[in-house]
Amino acid sequence: MLVQPVTARPRQPVWALGFRPFFLGGSIFALLALLLWAGVLTGVLQPAPPGGMLAWHRHEMLFGFAVAIVAGFLLTAVQNWSGIPGLSGRPLKGLFLLWLLGRASWFLPLPAWLLMTLHGAFLPLVALALARPIIQRRLHNNYPIVVLVLLLASCQWLTLAGWSTQNELLQRRGVLAGLWLIAAMMSVIGGRVIPFFTRRGLGEMSPSAAHPWLDRACLLGSVAVPLSYVTGLNDMPRPFMALLFAALALLHAARLVLWHDHRLWRLPLLWSLHLAYAWLVPACLGLALWHAGVALNPSLAAHALSVGAMTGLVVAMMARVSLGHTGRPLQVPRCIGWAFALIQLAAVARVAVAPFAPLGLGLSVLLASAGMLLFLWHYLPILLRARVDGMPG
């Protein structure tokens, strides 16, 4: 049962609940980061963050953008799970300020230890904020969420350790392990909300059929992948890793088939979720082929996951959650449907066009930027204003 606790309404709605500042800040940061990256690719801009722009790009699109949206979603969802009021007011302001300082730290004259502290402290604090209500209510099914956040923090620490020692291999392992942990979160959270949102969106109130064996298999496989990156098993092709990725692709595909209903293609809030989750299949298949010895660049699988699956699901979830938690009807204007489509086209350009045409990379950045801009155009006032139904949150 979803519980909406009664709390006092903050004077500033943006600090009422975690999704507001982190969805807003994460989206604005993503747009600015994409524009900066476009400037670097075209040679118009030449910033010099410590460790170089590639290190910044890899770290920030994952541990800056994606982590902000994950934090906003989980800090909001834990209130519904537990019935205990979520983080708001000054504690939420402090956590958001820490995240914001992390983004700025790359371009400030800070010592390396302070930069690493700013970055490395955020996720453990998010895990602590999640763990308190989950443990207090003994929500055993949600313990893995806290563990996944702490594992994601470990991946960030590994990345930062590689950055501080100029160890490219450690940076790469940390980022890719973190990326596949995000995929594990997508598997856990998506397995809960995508079928639920689909049935509610189609007007069906009865719960969907449970498939616990499939959910457990997806979770185990999804967690095994980032561990394989940390241990170096993905540094070179290995046949047994091909089997793991192929099995995971089949598990994700089976989920999509079980969740599918032809009516969902009429509703952007639904098809955006399904299309984003579907990118997990080619991401896994691409690495399965690479481990099997096929001459395929593994970075294509990483971008299928980061642009198509991660960014696509992030934007789709922000759109749905922001409406539900501000008391608005679960309907979006045509521009948001275009925003979803532009993100998906950006993934296609990055994975299917960029390897064959140099303009594909720039096209991908342009499409993703346009998608984020459309999202912000519509959702910025929604995230800044109070709920329309007068409820707190």
- Look up the pTM and report it: 0.93
Q: What percent of the chain has pLDDT over 90?
A: 86
Give the pLDDT score at 358: 85
Residue 3's pLDDT band (cuts 50, 70, 90): very low
Give the pLDDT score at 1: 37
Give the pLDDT score at 210: 76
Residue 10's pLDDT band (cuts 50, 70, 90): low
Reported as a single tens digit per residue, the pLDDT across 238-287 is 999 999 999 999 999 999 999 999 999 999 999 999 999 999 999 999 99
Widest pairwise Cα distance in the chain: 59
What average pLDDT does the segment 118-123 reach?
Answer: 97
Give the pLDDT score at 140: 87
8 A C-beta contact, residue 171 and residue 254: no
Residue 141's pLDDT band (cuts 50, 70, 90): confident
Give the pLDDT score at 11: 67
- Decide which of 2 and 254 is more confident: 254
Domains and CATH numbers, the chain: 18-384 (1.20.210.10)
CA 301 – CA 237 distance, rounded (Å)? 14
Reported as a single tens digit per residue, the pLDDT across 75-105 is 999 998 999 998 999 999 999 999 999 999 9
Give the pLDDT score at 8: 47
- Decide which of 42 and 118 is more confident: 118
**Residue 369, pLDDT above cutoff 70:** yes
What average pLDDT does the segment 167-171 reach?
Answer: 94
Reported as a single tens digit per residue, the pLDDT across 180-232 is 999 999 998 899 899 999 999 998 877 667 788 999 999 899 999 999 999 99
